[in-house]
Amino acid sequence: MMYQATVTLKKGGGRTLKAGGMWVYDNEIDSIMGGFENGDIVNIQDFDGYFMGYGFINMRSRIAIRLLSRKKEDLIDETFMERRVRAAWEYRRETIDTESCRVIFGEADFLPGIVVDKFSDVLVVESLALGIDRWKTVIVKALKKVLAEEGILIRGVYERSDAKVRLQEGMERYKGFIGKAFDTRVEILENGIKYIVDVEDGQKTGFFLDQKNNRMAIRRLCHDKKVLDCFTHTGSFALNAGIAGAKSVLGVDASPLAVEQARENARLNGLEGRVSFQCADVFDLLPKLENQGESFDVVILDPPAFTKSRSSVKNAVKGYREINLRGMRLVRDRGFLATCSCSHFMESELFAKTIREAAQGAHRRLRQVEFRTQACDHPILWAADQSFYLKFYIFQVVNEY
């Protein structure tokens, strides 16, 4: 099908697209023939007229076009969107526990700019691009239909499109119900642990599902151990340590709301005796604990993204180096450090180099136990580099001999 406007790429343009990626940048466009509004679907062709695909256009954004399909015969309509949604759900059903999971992960599910998380019987939608925003109700309707076919009834949908990145698309930040109102505090079960997820006021969509498998991975290290969980958010790593039989767990976060929710989650699982939480700035607290002569068998560092752009990577490196150095100094000889970065811009090699520098500064030797990434409901689409963002290491920390 021919859409109203046709975008022609410059000679040598569209490199990301040609490599299997999903984006066309504004400086790769040579000409646009035909009328369009930002958010419309356009035809994309190479400089020589070769058909490249269909995508959403938004000339307000540096990412001018987000690809929807490379097939010329595709018609972008409700049937097309349902097909994409169905494929996304089938992938989750085959790869992960779907009680609570990310059911749509933007470009990695060939639905650019939209994320949908399922928390038990509630969906949380995050729409980050103008073109897909027009289709979000169609996508939600299709997802509810596909889930209902398996007897999964969704009692409510909440939109958390309040990320700053929407401003770059010329859109306002927004949050609110899609459909009827419901109780936005949702109880979920993950790895046998109950959590209350606040889908209205929690960070991002309310809970970080991407660490599901990594939380399980630290359990075997925590039995009968003294554990420190930094940037605990609502207590997920701390509670996994507690359920694994840790002797004591201290979870730390700067957000009073997160700490209160973490304490509630501990009570919900009968762990309040062994798992405690403190509201503090981790950067301030770690040196204090070191000065007090504290040490731990296991230290977990799960910070927020210190960088959300290439321009702030240098400062982020300093932050990651500092917390890893401080964290290592608190690990007893032959104890364990779990450390991660959830920033796409903190590339794997740079993160590894930063940890290595921290170890040198702390005079500790690291033995890598394992390297992990995000859970498979956040699939990494090769060539769409932004879909790979979570780097997670477990090390044994050894004093220098």
List, by residue number, the catalytic residues: 342
Find where tokens 């933007």 sit.
Answer: 106
- Cα–Cα distance, 265 to 150 (Å, whole number): 30
| Three-class secondary structure of residue 145 per DSSP | helix
Strands 391-399 and 364-372, how do they pair?
Answer: antiparallel
Is 296 buried (19+), middle (13-18) or exposed (0-12) by CB count in 10 A?
Answer: buried
Q: How far is CA 54 from CA 6, 46, 60, in A?
A: 9, 12, 18
- Cα–Cα distance, 108 to 27 (Å, whole number): 24
CB crowding 219-241: b at 16 or more within 10 Å, else e: bebbeebbbbbbbbbbbbbbbbb
| Three-class secondary structure of residue 1 per DSSP | coil
